Amino acid sequence: MNNILDKLTIVDYGIVIVYLVALLAIGLFSSRNRAEGAEHFLAGKSLSWYSIGFNMWATNVGPSMLLAFATVGYTSGIVAVNFDWYAFVFLFLLAVVFAPRYIASGVRTLPEFMGKRFGPDTQTILAWYSLVKMLISWLSLGLFAGGFLVRQILGIPMWQSVTVLVALAGVFAYTGGLRTVAKINIFQMILLIVVSALLTFLGLSKIGGIDGLIANTPDGYWSLIRPASDPDYPWYAIALGYPVAAIAFFCTDQAMVQSVLGAKNLKQGQLGVNFIAWLKILSLPLFILTGVICYILFPGLEDPSLAYMTMVTNLFPTGLNGLVIVVLIAVLVGTIGSSLNSLSTVFTMDIYLKHINPEADNRTVTQIGRYTIIVGCLASVLVAIAIDQIKGLNLFDVFQSILGFIAPPLAVIFLLAVLWKRTNKAAVNTLLTFGAVLSLGTGVLYLWVFPKDVYSFWPHYLMLSFYLFVALLILGIVISLLVGKSEFEKQNQMAYRITIERPAPAVKWAWGILFVVMVCLYLFFK
């Protein structure tokens, strides 16, 4: 049912070849005037709102969304769209609270932002933590999902799948930096929208349209808010646990925020963040609905994670199956390309320039960034293979739980640093060291040592993330109250103060309209 290889025709191969040629042409054209140094990593601060929005969405989508959203749509309905729609609150937080401070401080990385306030030790610790987070949450999870799809399509082992995929995705980040990645992602995401919309249209046509869709699904499939007794997605777990990952994911993650740091100005950055919030509304018709329709057309799948591939291999007509391979490449190049660029930026700016070779010229800086991309590719392959060994959770829960265990220390330190002047270096550094060991150690126990499918004493993974967040927040507040500020903080207290630019009227209108739309959507699907 899911074997697409036997269905490929000369037309399909032609589609893939044309796509690859177009992708390479766009990449070569956008990287013809190569920037060096910091401009290589931040596109010379030239990104407009639409480039920022599409690039952030491309970083966020990935093969994992195609797989995971279709899987949850098949088994549970639309509840998983909370993880995209609820995000508008935290994207708003990025746009109006965090982004103005990031841009006004003139930093190139988020560890550099924290280092300006708390000192070089904090910058170094956060840089290493950020590198681990990007390696796991962006590169490895994205690669794992891409390899999972390729394994379904071609039946080849995971290690072969991820090796080929990361090699392709790394080319553009290596050659052109953020400017090239951003331009490619505009093309990629428009293609994703068109192909995904076609798949949804074909599915709806097969089941008799919207009426057939509603008539053939359980009532609970159309509810965003599940009762507290729901074992998979109780309302309190989403309401309390998801914000921890969302704050870390959207507001403190270099891979997501780097596009905003590359904005022409604050207005373009804030409108770009608003644009991705609008794009996230499309998750329901483009991704979740695929799984719901699959539930109607192909009930009783032995493995719900096959929902996406079951749809594409059975609905796309002969000659268009190549579009599936094209979309797979598109979302993988989008996510991995952006992530590799961010990984190389943090290592080069916060580790290499800070501790190894502070006098490096722009050409050396760019070359070190490219070497980092190669190392990141190799490491992400190994972690993706390890993730493939996790048992007992569906794909969506694997992705969300891993993010949930990485997120608490980052969410706490950035919230305290931005919202509370009393926060000090001792608290931040403790949370980044002890807090990271506690949070990541809990994740290892939950996912590998005492897996949830064997040991039933675990709470919901979202609530576990929330409990870790609360514990670390209390610890950070206590340390800040009991321990005085360091000499660095006292000496740089005045230098750190920055003037925050007020949002432009267009920004206020864009966010105001979005809030109204999101409230209406939640009321409709409550």
Question: Per-residue pLDDT tens for 493-525?
Answer: 765 677 788 899 999 999 999 999 999 999 998
The fraction of the chain above a pLDDT of 90, given in percent, is 38
**In the predicted model, is pLDDT for residue 473 greater than 70?**
yes
Ranges of each domain in the chain = 4-385+395-525
CB atoms within 10 A of CB 47: 27
Residue 27, sorted as left (phi over 0), alpha (psi -120 to 50) or beta, turns out to be alpha
**In the predicted model, is pLDDT for residue 173 greater than 80?**
no
* Alpha carbon distance 45, 488 (integer Å): 30
pLDDT (mean) for 126-136 = 86
**How far is residue 164 CA from its own chain's centroid?**
21
- Lowest-confidence pick of 48-62, 105-119, 131-145, 365-379: 131-145
What pLDDT is stored for residue 490 in this prediction?
83
pLDDT (mean) for 74-89 = 93
* pTM assigned to the model: 0.86
**How far is residue 230 CA from its own chain's centroid?**
26
* Alpha carbon distance 449, 405 (integer Å): 15
Domain 4-385+395-525 matching CATH 1.20.1730.10: the answer reads yes
What pLDDT is stored for residue 180 in this prediction?
65
| Distance set, CA 320 to CA 20, 21, 374, 385 (Å) | 16, 18, 34, 31
The fraction of the chain above a pLDDT of 70, given in percent, is 85
* Alpha carbon distance 72, 52 (integer Å): 28
What pLDDT is stored for residue 121 in this prediction?
92
E-strand ranges in 368-497 read none
What pLDDT is stored for residue 114 in this prediction?
93
**In the predicted model, is pLDDT for residue 389 greater than 70?**
no
Greater model confidence, 205 or 175: 205
Q: Confidence band (pLDDT; 50, 70, 90) for 12?
A: confident
Q: Which two tokens stand for residue 260?
A: 């905003």
Question: Per-residue pLDDT tens for 18-47?
Answer: 877 877 777 667 655 555 555 555 656 778
Q: Confidence band (pLDDT; 50, 70, 90) for 301?
A: confident
DSSP state of 347: I
Average pLDDT, the chain: 84
Max CA separation in the chain (angstroms): 70
